[in-house]
């Protein structure tokens, strides 16, 4: 759980950008294939697109990253002055590394980078990131469930039960994960039981066991920060969510649609919960794109051709964030050196 060696950073940056480009290209190819099913509708969307609105929407989504960095900072159990701009740079570097490295390794490395810069225990920066993620997940799940129960969304007849069940599962899962992350004794017990299974090499167990115990202790430290710090983190999370929801809405309007507001909020909440699960699996970006475009059409009343266009623009914005991560990695290397 440490910053990547300077010698490895250029290759990691190239790999991350290359895989992000491939992911973006995959989304575009799927969108082009879909466009062949209704060429006239696709042409109308392309010809009526307002570039200024699309850029504004992408810009607002990108600004949301600063709110996510502030959410992370709010849950770091330290009195050290953690500056927001460098932490945001590390956050976008983590996005790059999530493309360049398998599974959630990018999350570990970003936590190590933050720990190294501000001389903090890496287990605590990672634990703060875990709690911050689960704050966002629990908030998104509860918002999605409340919207489904209380708001008027254009969900077709006959689908309410299925959508309601999925929403309840997302909300319950988010809350359960959040509660478990603040119960380190249980996590420590589960970790020791898993590492006691006979197929683990003894040397690996000797390496991982202290790390798992240290992470559990770090989770306990973060979990005991108190209500005020969690309230601050939740407020920053709401700001970040608002930026992305607003950005998606502006992009949809820039492509010619007027999404149902409750449906747009519901779509974002559900895709946020999905992203927390999917980010650990390489190649899952296309699945997230399908989830986003499907829910925009299903719950927000956005024409399907425009919903697919929104997914493409969102993927382009993510590619821009990855490019920012590559730049941030270079500056981070210079600063760390």
The C-alpha atoms of residue 30 and residue 308 are separated, in whole angstroms, by: 9
CB 104 within 8 A of CB 123: no
Helices (H), the chain: 9-35, 39-48, 51-74, 84-100, 105-118, 122-150, 160-181, 184-195, 202-223, 227-254, 261-278, 285-299, 304-336
Distance separating alpha carbons of residues 185 and 128, to the nearest angstrom: 17
Tokens of 54: 């699309």
Percent of the chain residues past pLDDT 70, beyond the cut = 81
Q: Quote the pLDDT of residue 291.
A: 83
Q: The tokens 């990695």 sit on which residue?
A: 329
Tokens 């929104």 map to which residue?
310
pLDDT at 144: 79
pLDDT tens across 134-178, in order? 788 778 778 878 887 887 776 666 656 666 776 777 667 667 666
Q: What is the CA radius of gyration of the chain?
A: 21
Whole-angstrom Cα distance, residue 177 to residue 184?
A: 12
What percent of the chain clears pLDDT 90, i.e. is strictly above it? Answer: 24
Rounded CA separation 257/253 (Å) = 5
- The segment with the largest mean pLDDT, out of 1-5, 187-191, 227-231, 322-326, is 322-326
Instruction: Give the Cα separation of 85 and 69 in Å (integer).
Output: 8
Cα(234)–Cα(240) distance, integer angstroms: 10
- Tell me the pLDDT tens digit for each residue of 95-108: 888 777 765 677 78
Better-scored residue on pLDDT, 5 or 263:
263
| Mean pLDDT computed over 21-44 | 83
Q: What is the pLDDT of residue 130?
A: 80
Average pLDDT for 57-85: 92
Residue carrying the six token digits 């082009």: 32
Supply the pLDDT for residue 333: 53
The two tokens of residue 138 are 């629990």
Residues in the chain: 337
**Quick one: tokens of 131?**
């709690």
Higher pLDDT pick, 159 / 119: 119
Better pLDDT: 206 or 285: 206
Q: How many angstroms separate the CA atoms of 9 and 210, rounded?
A: 28
pLDDT at 16: 77
């Amino acid at each position: 759980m440490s910053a990547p060696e300077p010698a490895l950073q250029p290759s990691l940056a190239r790999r991350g950008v290359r895989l992000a480009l491939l992911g973006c290209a995959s989304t575009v190819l799927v969108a082009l294939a879909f466009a062949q099913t209704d060429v006239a509708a696709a042409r109308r969307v392309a010809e009526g697109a307002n570039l200024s609105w699309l850029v504004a929407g992408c810009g607002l989504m990108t600004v949301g990253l600063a709110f996510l960095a502030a959410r992370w900072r709010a849950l770091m159990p330290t009195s050290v002055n953690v500056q927001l701009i460098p932490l945001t740079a590390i956050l976008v570097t983590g996005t790059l590394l999530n493309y360049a490295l398998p599974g959630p390794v990018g999350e570990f490395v970003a936590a190590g980078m933050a720990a190294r810069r501000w001389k903090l225990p890496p287990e605590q920066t990672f634990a703060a990131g875990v709690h911050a993620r689960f704050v966002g997940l629990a908030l998104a799940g509860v918002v999605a469930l409340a919207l489904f129960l209380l708001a008027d969304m254009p969900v077709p007849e006959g689908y309410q039960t299925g959508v309601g069940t999925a929403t309840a599962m997302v909300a319950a899962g988010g809350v359960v994960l959040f509660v478990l992350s603040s119960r380190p004794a249980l996590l420590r017990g589960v970790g020791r039981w898993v590492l006691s299974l006979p197929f683990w090499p003894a040397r690996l167990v000797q390496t991982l066991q202290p790390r798992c115990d240290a992470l559990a202790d770090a989770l306990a430290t973060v979990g005991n920060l108190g209500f005020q710090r969690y309230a601050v983190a939740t407020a920053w999370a709401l700001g970040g969510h608002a930026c992305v929801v607003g950005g998606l809405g502006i992009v949809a309007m820039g492509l010619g649609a007027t999404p149902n507001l409750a449906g747009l909020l519901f779509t974002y909440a559900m895709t946020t919960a999905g992203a927390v699960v999917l980010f650990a699996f390489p190649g899952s970006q296309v699945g997230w794109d399908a989830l986003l475009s499907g829910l925009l059409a299903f719950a927000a009343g956005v024409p399907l051709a425009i919903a697919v266009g929104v997914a493409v623009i969102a993927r382009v914005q993510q590619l821009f964030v990855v490019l920012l991560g590559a730049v941030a990695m270079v500056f981070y290397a210079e600063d760390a050196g």
